Amino acid sequence: MRRLALFFMLLLAAVSAKTRTPLVVTREGKPDFEVRQLEVICPGQTLKVQLEDDRVKLLAGKDVLVKVKRKKDGLELEDGAGTRLLRIKVHKGPSYKISDGQDKPVLTLETQGPQLLAQPEGKVSASLNGLDWSSGGRMHAHLEGDRQLQLGLCLALGSLTPAQRAALAVYIREVGI
């Protein structure tokens, strides 16, 4: 009886993972990346997603292209060689302090109601079918398929590559911050 119950729980988890709404991100009106099940589509490449308990890896063939892993107070984004590219620390509020690989501050986002604000850089806000990153009344990036405000972090980080932003989005959606 327990085996049968376990089988149905695993089957339900597999079905829900496969039916999750795809994420489609555009930046300045052009395709940035798309996440479909365990695959990421970026301009010019298709990458496989490898999920583990506390990390996400994007694979180009058998090589790790980018990795996001949990840390005590947030997460880190690394390239395939293990070099830290970015650290995101979560603070009360919640607010997110983002620093580069050398721990130099890059951006701070603070939650205020239904928005993430980064003054004067811009804001992430929920739209009808997703999230928008905008500043000065101009939309820079749009995420369609989920309205989880934390996913706005990948929109706000324009200095990352599409694959790095996609890895961050998959991590936030599947593992959580």
The domain limits of the chain are 21-174
The pLDDT confidence band at residue 88, using thresholds 50, 70 and 90, is: very high
pTM: 0.84
Rounded to 5 degrees, φ, ψ at 13 are -65, -40
pLDDT tens across 115-163, in order? Answer: 888 877 899 999 888 999 998 889 999 999 999 999 999 999 988 999 9
pLDDT at residue 112, as a whole number: 87
| Tokens 């070099």, residue located | 83
pLDDT tens across 34-78, in order? Answer: 999 889 999 999 999 999 889 999 999 999 999 999 998 899 999
Mean pLDDT confidence for 9-18: 45
pLDDT at residue 120, as a whole number: 75
Distance (Å, whole) CA 59 – CA 49 = 6
Decide which of 134 and 17 is more confident. 134
Calculated CA dihedral for residues 23, 17, 70, 166, nearest 10 degrees:
-20
Report yes or no: 18 and 33 within 8 Å, Cβ to Cβ. Answer: no
The pLDDT confidence band at residue 1, using thresholds 50, 70 and 90, is: low
